[in-house]
Amino acid sequence: MAAAMQITELLQRVHVGDQQALHTVIPLVYDELKKLAAGHLWRERQARPLETTALVHEAFLRLAHGQHPSYENRAHFYGIASRLMRQILVDLARARATEKRSALQEVQLAEIPDLGGQPDESLLVMDEALERLARTDPLKVQLIEMRYFGGMTAEESATVLSLSVHVVRRELRLAQALLHKEMAG
Amino acid sequence: MNIRIEELFHELADLSADERARYFVERDVDQDTRREVEALLACDSGTSAFLLRDISNAASRALPQIEPEGWRCGPYRLLDVIGRGGMGSVYLAERADGEVTQRLAVKVLPHGAGDPERERFLQERQILASLTHPNIARMLDAGHLDNGQPFLAMEYVDGKPIDVFAAGLTMREKIALFRKVCAAVGYLHRNLVVHRDLKPSNILVTADGEPKILDFGIAKILDLATDKTRTGMRMLTPDYASPEQVTGGRVSTATDIYSLGAVLYRLLTGKPPHAITFGKNACDRLMLRNQDESNVFFGHETHCRERVILGTDGPQGFRLCGKDLF
């Protein structure tokens, strides 16, 4: 596939700040992540806990298609995927919250297990807090996305953001405290 | 974010409480700044654990909703989700093996479904396999995926829910349409099948006006010895569910008759049959509502409705209905 062959080149262009390349990569990564999540669930009858990190890494392996992009390109990929992972999860949580509201007409009898689970209030609260934080400090939000939605190491984040590892660790710690405070209201 | 507060946070993050207090005094930090930094430091511990937990919980809840678009299911390729329920999603699908061009509806047991759901799914397939009626969506195929998930392929009904379709019809046309549905339900009952979930969204009408009954996900084969079966564990749509389903009583063919009455009410009045929230005395209210609103109907239609509503009382009602409507 053309898309698979291009990904390393696209990432290289993202690395040097090419916005056009970024806009080409985003839908590719988004689709791959969703497809993988679906495939994962489709195959595994026993649903094991889902790790977004594993999905992000698998998406990379598939899109890279046997090629071995540089460490920098891979870090960039994870950076993009982290943001998209957050978007996917929040979109789904929001859709489900809406579904739940419209399902108020339906009465649920006690015996049936709710296959859908509970609404993802905590994720939506987190998302709103991140949005507020992003207005004053987008870098910190990026650090949180990379660490928690993409499972990136401090070294990988440092590469993508052109920061020292020390600064990444320090800022992430502060970002976490700020988010925690923001979520606590 | 105040730069000074950030700097203080970094400076103090790894110090003990005593050391922090001393720092504030030595550097002559004002009270407001101190309070803000301390609030931030209080949020420092254990943060990563709660973030990871929330995200991982959210992921394992949210991601199963992603539909496997383009996935192969036996000889079929899934194209789009056309319905989703506790008992699995229904997809618009096409034949992907090149034998013939065909569009159909494929229903797959969701991954992670428990044994009771699996059993019910297999039963639904079995029930559908035994039915042939122009107003009941036909089953076309059944199979298993490699991982053991069963699926079934059905006729794809490109239609509108009966209440939507009927909105523009005359009273006489509505009754004629409804009679076709009754005929199909009569066929089900003669084959000892109770649908148990009759409602407008499960009765689609094609462009040429043929109603088709869908979704036998909670249908039951009647026990011959008693002609009754126990209400299953399930989601109910209160507007169309019978009192015995709400209270967990025994269901019979009269259960479907009750739902037909509710559907008819909807068709004739355009209103949901009972826009009420279920409480302790739900069934009482349900029946009271029916009595209160009996004057909504007129002429021949009142006659129909009375017979249908009598279905709430059990087998006797069914007999009356059977005579007048089927």
Quick one: average pLDDT of B279-289? 36
pLDDT digits (tens, 9 = 90+) for B235-252: 556 667 776 666 666 777
B197 in active site: yes
State yes or no: pLDDT of B9 exceeds 90.
yes
The alpha carbon dihedral of B222, B223, B227, B230 has a sign of negative
* C-beta separation of B180 from B104 below 8 A: no
Helices then strands, counting H and E runs in chain B, come out as 12, 14
Query: Alpha carbon of A34 to those of A61, A138, B179: distances in Å?
Result: 15, 25, 45
How far apart (Å, rounded) are the C-alpha atoms in residues B90 and B87?
9
Answer yes or no: do B234 and A109 touch at CB < 8 A.
yes
pLDDT digits (tens, 9 = 90+) for B11-57: 999 999 999 999 999 989 899 999 999 999 988 876 667 777 777 66
What radius of gyration, in Å, describes the C-alpha atoms of chain A?
Answer: 18
Answer yes or no: do B149 and A179 touch at CB < 8 A.
no
Q: How many other β-carbons are positioned within 10 Å of the β-carbon of residue A165?
A: 14
Q: What percentage of chain B exceeds 70 in pLDDT?
A: 65
Q: Which two tokens stand for residue B177?
A: 């349409």
pLDDT band of residue B293 (cuts 50, 70, 90) is very low
Answer yes or no: do A126 and B54 touch at CB < 8 A.
yes
pLDDT band of residue B136 (cuts 50, 70, 90) is very high
Nearest to B299 by CA among B198, B175, B163: B175
Check CB contact of A126 with chain B, cutoff 8 Å.
yes
The model's pTM is 0.51
ipTM for the complex shown:
0.72
Instruction: Provide the shortest C-alpha distance from residue A63 to chain B (in Å).
Output: 18
Poorest-pLDDT segment among A124-128, B65-69, B217-221, B294-298: B294-298
Chain A residues within 8 A of B112 when measuring between CB atoms: 41, 45-47, 115
Question: Which residues have a Cβ under 8 Å from the Cβ of B183 and sit 6 or more positions away?
Answer: B135, B326
Phi, then psi, of A4 in degrees rounded to 5: -65, -35
Full DSSP string of B39-57: HHHHTSTTHHHHHHHHHHH
Which residue's entry shows tokens 């909807």?
Answer: B266
Residue B86 confidence (pLDDT): 52
Residue count of chain A, please give it.
185
How far apart (Å, rounded) are the C-alpha atoms in residues A149 and A30?
13
State yes or no: pLDDT of B95 exceeds 80.
yes
Instruction: Provide the shortest C-alpha distance from residue B66 to chain A (in Å).
Output: 5
Nearest to A141 by CA among B1, B58, B300: B1
Residue B108 confidence (pLDDT): 83
Of B54, B68, B147, which has the smallest distance from its Cβ to A45's Cβ?
B147
Nearest to A105 by CA among B274, B283, B218, B312: B274
Name the active-site residue from B97, B141, B158, B197: B197
Low-confidence ranges of chain A (pLDDT < 50): 1-5, 42-49, 103-119
Question: Which residues have a Cβ under 8 Å from the Cβ of A181 and sit 6 or more positions away?
Answer: B39, B40, B43
State yes or no: pLDDT of B88 exceeds 70.
no
The pairing of strands B229-230 and B203-206 is unpaired
Which residue's entry shows tokens 């990190």?
Answer: A53
Q: Where are the beta strands (DSSP E) in chain B?
A: 72-73, 76-85, 88-95, 103-108, 139-144, 150-155, 159-161, 193-194, 203-206, 211-213, 220-221, 229-230, 235-236, 250-251
Full DSSP string of B85-152: ETTEEEEEEEE-SSS---EEEEEEPPTT--HHHHHHHHHHHHHHHT---TTBPPEEEEEE-TTS-EEE
How far apart (Å, rounded) are the C-alpha atoms in residues B203 and B183?
13
